[in-house]
Amino acid sequence: MTLEELARLVGGQVRGECRERIFGVNSLREAVPGQISFLTSPKYLPDLEKTRASAVIVGRVTPPTDKPLLITDRPYLAYARIARFFSPPKTHPTGVHPLAYVEEDCRIGEGVSIYPFVYVGKGVVIEKGVTLCAGVFIGDGVRIGEGTLIHPNVSVLDGTIIGKRVIIHSGTVIGSDGFGFAQDGLEQVKIPQTGIVQIDDDCEIGANNTIDRASLGRTWLQKGVKTDNLVHVAHNVVVGEHTLLIAQVGISGSVTIGKGAILAGQVGVIDHLSIGDGARIIGKSGVIQDVPAGAVVAGYPAMPHPVFLRSSALIRKLPEMAKRIRELEGKVRELENALEKEKKDHGTQS
């Protein structure tokens, strides 16, 4: 496409003349003529003049350069849309491979791709356009919505409901038992986990996630939720629409997370808490109490982000403060000794 055509695709404007047609996207450092790149942070300005890209996507505050520019209010979003244009989804051969095993009472829609060594259990419903890559296990009674893609070696256990256009990456287990036990002395008595997992439309589940079935009812990821790799969602958790769970997030049982929240890497949440709409949890935080809608919290225990920053600043000063305290304690002792001596001298004179 021409740069002008790409600008129309993302609602941007062109500055400068780009003679080459664009065939792909690449980073500033790796781009070659015929590719478009993007600049979203000032720290990459030194790479701008060195890039071989034919054009660069930038924001409204344009950098000083003679390079042809595609100017837009949201350059990173424009990059995403252009990258998707140049990277159409991989096509999959339709049909059921002879080395797959599908139980007889399943309902399989049109245009479904089932690869070798897939198992599909009893009473499964698979809508049109679904792809099950090699090694996928689908348990009894599972329902999978139209256009969903399940990558290799994913396990979707009994009763799980998966919506339309969901993507599930390799190694993920959905519907394993929640961690539920009642203590009898030293013995742990297992509580049957009889609920399900429900994943709504347009969710994307990263690699090696574990999403536990509910003890009763459902564990529920609502529309548009995105999870990174190595995320754990415990039983009866509800994750609101379009929330992001970044790598190594661990959510304990019966937590409710609102819409549009972001839990950054390695956040841990204890059970039965509520995290409000649009909340932001900074990486490595430990959440041990409810988080209001729109709040930004950090640290362990998680606290309002400005408080965390002030506390972190004080931590860096602790050695200096400790030294100062020791000096003050010494001066106090000197004053106390002088006062005691003065009292003794006064007593002697009396």
Q: How far is CA 101 from CA 50, 53, 132, 139, 316, in A?
A: 54, 49, 12, 12, 61
Please provide the average confidence, as pLDDT, over all residues in the chain: 95
What is the SS3 assignment for 84? helix
pLDDT tens figures, 158-201: 999 999 999 999 999 999 999 999 999 999 999 999 999 999 99
The model carries a pTM of 0.86
pLDDT bracket for residue 342 (50, 70, 90): confident
**Statement: residue 335 has pLDDT above 80:** yes
Residue 349: is its pLDDT beyond 70? Answer: no
Beta strands in 74-139 (DSSP E): 95-96, 101-102, 107-108, 113-114, 119-120, 125-126, 131-132, 137-138
Enumerate the active-site residues. Answer: 235
CATH fold of 95-307, please? UDP N-Acetylglucosamine Acyltransferase; domain 1 (2.160.10)
Beta bridge partners of 297: 281, 304
3-86, CATH topology level: 3.40.1390
Q: Decide if 134 contacts 167 (C-beta within 8 A).
A: no
Q: Which residues contact 341 (CB under 8 A, 6 or more apart)?
A: none
Q: Are strands 262-263 and 244-245 parallel, antiparallel or unpaired?
A: parallel
Residue 153 CA to its chain's centroid (Å): 21
In the sheet where 13-15 sits, what is the strand order?
13-15, 69-71, 55-58, 35-38, 24-25
Distance CA(49)–CA(90), nearest Å, equals 34
Does position 309 have pLDDT exceeding 90, yes or no?
no
- Per domain, the residue ranges of the chain are 3-86, 95-307, 317-350
Dmax (CA) of the chain:
112
pLDDT digits (tens, 9 = 90+) for 124-170: 999 999 999 999 999 999 999 999 999 999 999 999 999 999 999 99
CB atoms within 10 A of CB 2: 14
Q: Residue 337 CB: number of other CB atoms within 10 A?
A: 10
